[in-house]
Amino acid sequence: MSQILNSLLAVAPILQKGFLFDCMVGVTDREKFLAYYPASNLNLGIKVGDMLRPGSINATAIAENRRIVRKIGKEVYGVPYIAVGYPIVENGQVVGCLATGVNTDQEDQLRALADSLTEAVSEIAGHTDTLSKEAHELAQASHTLSGAAVEMEKKIAETSQINELIRDISTKSNVLGLNAMLEAARAGTAGRGFSVVAEEIRKLSLTTSASASDIFRILNEMNELVKLVSSEMERTMNRSLQQSTRIQELDAVMQELRRMAKELQKAAVVGEEME
The answer to whether residues 32 and 114 belong to one domain is: no
Looking up residue 46, the CATH number of its domain turns out to be: 3.30.450.40
* One-letter identity of residue 222: M
The answer to whether residues 89 and 180 belong to one domain is: no
* One-letter identity of residue 86: Y
What is the number of other CB atoms lying within 10 angstroms of the CB of residue 229? 16
The answer to whether residues 124 and 213 belong to one domain is: yes
pTM equals 0.48
pLDDT band at 275 (very low <50, low <70, confident <90, very high): very low
Looking up residue 236, the CATH number of its domain turns out to be: 1.10.287.950
| SS3 label, residue 208 | helix
Domain enclosing residue 50, as ranges: 3-103
The answer to whether residues 11 and 68 belong to one domain is: yes
Residue 194 lies in a domain: yes
* pLDDT of the residue at 63: 94
- Signed CA dihedral, 141, 147, 153, 159: sign only: negative
Phi, psi angles (nearest 5°) of residue 101: -150, 145
257 half-sphere exposure, CB direction, 13 A CA radius: 17
Is residue 70 within a helix (H) or strand (E), and if so which, with residue range?
strand 68-72
Q: How many distinct structural domains can be found in the chain? A: 2
| SS3 label, residue 271 | coil
Residue 273 lies in a domain: no
Q: Report d(CA 12, CA 100) in Å as an integer.
A: 10
Contacts of 177-181 with CB under 8 Å at 24 or more apart are 177/201, 177/202, 177/203, 177/204, 177/205, 178/202
The chain-wide mean pLDDT, for the chain, equals 76
119-161 tens-digit pLDDT: 777 777 676 777 767 777 777 776 776 676 677 667 666 666 6
- Rounded CA Rg of the chain: 48
* One-letter identity of residue 215: I
Lowest average pLDDT, out of 22-26, 179-183, 191-195, goes to 191-195
Bridge partners (DSSP) of residue 84 are 69, 100
The answer to whether residues 96 and 113 belong to one domain is: no
First CA to last CA distance, the chain: 29
Q: Which of 75, 103, 131 is the last residue of a domain?
A: 103
* pLDDT of the residue at 274: 39
Q: Which of 49, 72, 103 is the last residue of a domain?
A: 103
